[in-house]
Chains A and B, each alone.
Chain A
Amino acid sequence: MSTLAILAENINTHYGRSHILRGVSFRVAPGETVSLLGRNGMGKTTLLRTLAGLVRPSSGRVQLNGNDVTLSRASVRSRAGLAIVPEGRGIFPNLTVAENLTFASRTNSKGERPWPLERVYALFPRLSERKHHWGNELSGGEQQMLSIGRALMTSPSIVLLDEATEGLAPKLRDEIWSTVKQITESGIAAIIVDKNLNDLLALADRNTIMAKGEIVFDGSSAALRADEALIHRHLGV
């Protein structure tokens, strides 16, 4: 059995006295695309932030590419191959597009740079056109492209995308999904949180539904599509 890209076991995460994640166990294989679904406030973003090391769990264990990173800081996890495209995009407004992209450019564990600047510009030609613009001069869609491009330049083995298409027009949304598909087809594993169920079902190898800090479904897109009651109960569609 090959080493998992991410393995989280029995994760409990609290914000103050609020118990957000309740014994969550979660796994993603190398190159696998997993959607993380659920209504607002069910713990999806907290799970991503816990996996990324931005929130410390109260208990449980996290492995990244077979290495225990439970006690590791976010920076260590980033250098070990985990990239996050956060909700709100996390663009540095006082850095140019080119500076944002090259900010954390690095090689992977094999010393390779699968996503050099030229390849990111080829993926997002609009970023190339605006490489000298400040981060806060970009539109929402361009900021999203920049956030994804910047994540790719860290040479990740897994990308966590939190609300990657939030606030974007349908055409731009399709463009982002098409790009995400290219990225996952290049062998990078992905965990995607988004509100557009149909888009995710088309993209994901596997889908996970969270409710009240627990995982209540884990299965294929076909299995989820077939269970309308489950969709109605947890996704409110």
Chain B
Amino acid sequence: MTSKIEKQQTNGTGINQENVLKKIGKGLGQSQAIIFIGLVLLILIFSYLTPHFLSFTNFMNIVRQTAMIAIVAFGMTYVIIAGEIDLSVGAIIGITGMMSAIGIQTGLHPLLVIALCLVLGSVIGFINGVMVVKVQVTAFLATLVTMSILRGMSLASSPGSAPITINSTLFVDLATMNIGPIPIVLIYLAAILLIGHYTLNKTVFGRHIYATGGGAHAASLAGVNVKRVRVMVFIISGFLSAFSGLILAGRLSAGLPDSGTGWELDAIAAAVLGGTKFSGGYGTVVGALGGALIIGVLSNGLTLMGMTYAYQLMIKGAIIGLAVILDIWVRREEA
């Protein structure tokens, strides 16, 4: 649908600007269009306020910082669309960072370490899913439990909770190298975005995720294996968090026991800013990318303006609040 409308727009001649925007907006879904308009506005404001903001180097900086949050936010989007929540993503980033550092320290091959960490993330996601589906703990509590235990394990995994350096050029390169002028993380991000978007929109599994969040009873009566869908989205979220954790460890050339702290909130914020509804059944990964970019641009721009982290947090909170209120208004009008 979306691509068709856009194609028509680009092929057609003499269509006025407003109409194009409207159609694109419709194709993206209303709340998503708002996000990207907001993003452009933010960029314009920062470009005006600080001279260093509008440059290729700075944009690539933003991308490097944002990519990891965005990847976690994609997983979070899947989870929220299915009507659940995953608070353990930050702790998974912490534990994979530590485990990769320890693994490489003990002399395992970096590629094997990467594979093991990705499996670890998926297994944690599976455990979250099983707690929700089989034990029937609410997702909020189940993932709060894993979050706490995993963070404790990260802190305990190193004496004195000290960082562990990673001495592997291959491992670090895989996270930080550039291909031409493009940072490799941008390629990871693009690939995951494409796969994530395609899966949601073009596969039976994706449809089942929307159906599960949109009306679990009806979906289950229609023969959708709702339980399996729920477990799957937690696995996906765990896997992507581990992926993100590996990139972060590579960038830092070290495993930090407290890395990823608070990321669950950024990931949820990115998803919600991107138009994913907390009640489940709606949302897109493209929107989540927009949400993550807004968060990234905000912190980058505010830092360049010399604002401290304390004020950044307040401004970030206010903007997310504003977006959520806007979203509720839009929804009310639709109803």
A binds B: no
Give A contacts to B, CB under 8 Å: none
Give B contacts to A, CB under 8 Å: none
